[in-house]
Amino acid sequence: MKMHFCIPVSQQLPDALGGRYTLYSVYLDGFLFCRVRYSQLHRWNEQLRRVFGNCLPPFPPKYYLAMTTAMADERRDQLEQYLQNVTVDPNMLRSDVFVDFLKRVQLDTFGITTKKASLDIFLPDGRSIQAEILTSDTVERVLEVVSHKIGLCRELLGYFGLFLIRFYKEGKLSVMKKLADFELPYVSLRSSEVENCKVGLRKWYMDPSLDSMLMDCRAAVKLIYMQDIEKEWAKPTQLQRQKLEALQKEDNQTKFLELSQEVQHYGYMQLDPCTCDYPEPGCGAILSVGNNEISCSITLPDNQTQDIIFQMNRVKCWQVTFLGTLLDTDGPQRTLNQNLELRFQYSEDSRWQWFVIYTKQAFLLSSCLKKMISEKMVKQAAENPEMQIEVPEQGKSKKYHIQQSQQSQSQKDYSSFRPRKSKIKIAEVDCVLGNIKEEGL
């Protein structure tokens, strides 16, 4: 699936020869990832093409004359689409030529050199372990270091991830984003500019039944046990709570997790309080995402609450939109966590309807929705080995990033993951971020 790459900002800067060049600010999941020139991306594309041939998406052409404003906007849009499309192929994501370039531009953007460093990795119970790493180590490498230190089976690393997490004094936490495998945790943390932000290790799957895959690893059981009890995102009944507390006193982690499977919202990701437009504009909402559903606890204007569940198999598509501008006195800001919305199209009463959620965690929410879809597809493929999953051909679409999840009556037909075109929202002074759209399941 495509990643949430976007280029909302470009700047014209003078070069050493008296000319000018364009510097593009590339964001990933709402955080500034790097700043690069067209020439850097062009050389990278040539390197990728020598390895992967013509399977690469089209790269925007060179211009040998001065570009008009329209041409500059078109190039920026094309570079954005290129970055999104090039991340579809998992083999490309794991290649040295892909990872090495992105490591270099991350380090260069934030002026960090490769050197030895200590990085605190926070566990779900709030404790931290110190990982001895290089500043240029990727998430994948840091996870290997951490897993060795805590005794986590290496083959289970795919069930966990590193996250940027904001911790509050009262013990609460807010998950800001999941770090991609090729990101540099040391650099991402230093560049986040989020107060009390830390790198945390957490499980990364939305289907609670996948706990069963980890039960033979003591360290894995301990991690998901800590993650379950460190917050009150799950909603046990009074009887369930009493049984869980008894098992907790006995330190019977396996039985605790088995019983937790029956608890409402167990294993879900809970977002910070936000607002939505359902059943009327301006309603407060708390979202819990997991187990193929979006569960919303909505506070109505009269302070009454209403619980609504949106099933993922009735979600057709969604899109993330940035509603503001990115300029301040010091240049482009490093996060897009303000003025974000996620809207999704949902089948209700035999008709499609759009629902809008205004949340600074819109990119995280989108990542959770993508994760639920990918887990569902893997599960269906395992149940039916003859099932074929069709992936749209790269480079064919002019639309970029609108995530599809509608499933046909026949579980073998995934061609119903169709993109939906959306309007671009224009801001001032070349700071444009349209709909961060998803397609290409």
**What's the pLDDT tens digit per position in 353-364?**
999 999 999 999
Q: What is the pLDDT of residue 333?
A: 61
pTM over 0.75: yes
Cβ count within 10 A of residue 420: 17
Residues of the chain with pLDDT under 70: 229-231, 324-335, 337-338, 386-441
pLDDT at 214: 94
State how far the alpha carbon of 422 is from the alpha carbons of 90, 343, 402, 437, in Å. 27, 11, 9, 8
pLDDT at 427: 28
What is residue 39's predicted lDDT score, i.e. its pLDDT?
94
Residue among 360, 127, 359, 124 nearest 231 (CA): 124
Cα–Cα distance for residue pair 12/15, rounded to 1 Å = 10
| pLDDT score at 355 | 95
Q: What are 263-290's pLDDT values in tens digits?
A: 889 999 999 999 999 999 999 999 999 9
pLDDT at 363: 94
Q: Dihedral, CA atoms, 251, 263, 143, 6, nearest 10 degrees? A: -160
CA distance 241 to 292: 24
